[in-house]
């Protein structure tokens, strides 16, 4: 559960009820009664609390948004790679209207 909490991508939870929940786990409380996690399900406006006991399996199905994004990784890239990546990010921001 700690690994799933630290993961910076979406996961898929299979619940004992047979339900599948896909989303981002942003909180967990093993000391709560009962111990539970909080997840933002994809496409839902609100978060959801799910007791640990209801979770049968966790799969790391979403992209790890932190992978390869460290400062050290950035400075080790060739300048051409950095420029290309920067241009792509800029284009995405422009497409969203954030530039």
Partner 1 sequence: MAVPVAQMFTVTKYVLTQKLTGVKRYPLVLMLEPLFRCNLACAGCGKIQYPDHVLDKRLTPEQCWAAAEECGAPIVSIPGGEPLIHPDMPAIVQGLVARKKYVYLCTNAILLERKLDEYRPSPYLTFSIHMDGLQEEHDLAVCRDGIYDVAVKAIKAALKRGFRVTTNTTLFDDAAPERVRKFFDAMMELGVEGMMISPGYSYDKAPDKKNFLKRQRTRELFSRILHRPNSGWRFNQSPLFLDFLMGKVDYQCTPWGNPTYNVFGWQKPCYLLQDGYVATFRELMDQTEWDSYGTGRNEKCADCMVHCGYEASAVDDTFGSLRGFGRTVVATLMPTAR
What does the binding site for partner 1 look like in residue numbers (CB under 8 A)? 8-10, 23-24, 26-29, 38, 40, 42-43, 62-63, 65-66, 69-75, 82, 85-86, 89-90, 93, 96, 98-99
Smaller CB distance to partner 1: residue 78 or 98?
Answer: 98
Cβ atoms of 42 and 26 closer than 8 Å: no
**Considering the complex, what minimum distance in angstroms separates the CB of residue 40 from partner 1?**
6
DSSP string, 23-67: EEEEEEETTSSS-EEEEEETT-SS-EEEEGGGEEEEE--S--TTT
**Considering the complex, what minimum distance in angstroms separates the CB of residue 78 from partner 1?**
14
Smaller CB distance to partner 1: residue 17 or 31?
Answer: 31
Q: How far apart are CA 14 and CA 20, in angstroms?
A: 5
Smaller CB distance to partner 1: residue 18 or 43?
Answer: 43
């Amino acid at each position: 559960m700690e690994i799933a909490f630290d993961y910076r991508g979406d996961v898929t939870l299979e619940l004992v009820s047979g339900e599948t929940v896909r989303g981002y786990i942003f909180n967990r409380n093993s000391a709560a009664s009962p111990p539970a996690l909080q997840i933002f399900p994809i496409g839902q406006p609100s978060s959801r609390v799910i007791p640990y006991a209801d979770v049968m399996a966790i799969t790391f199905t979403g992209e790890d948004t932190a992978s390869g994004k460290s400062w050290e990784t950035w400075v080790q890239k060739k300048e051409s790679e950095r420029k290309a990546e920067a241009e792509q990010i800029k284009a995405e921001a422009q497409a969203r209207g954030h530039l």
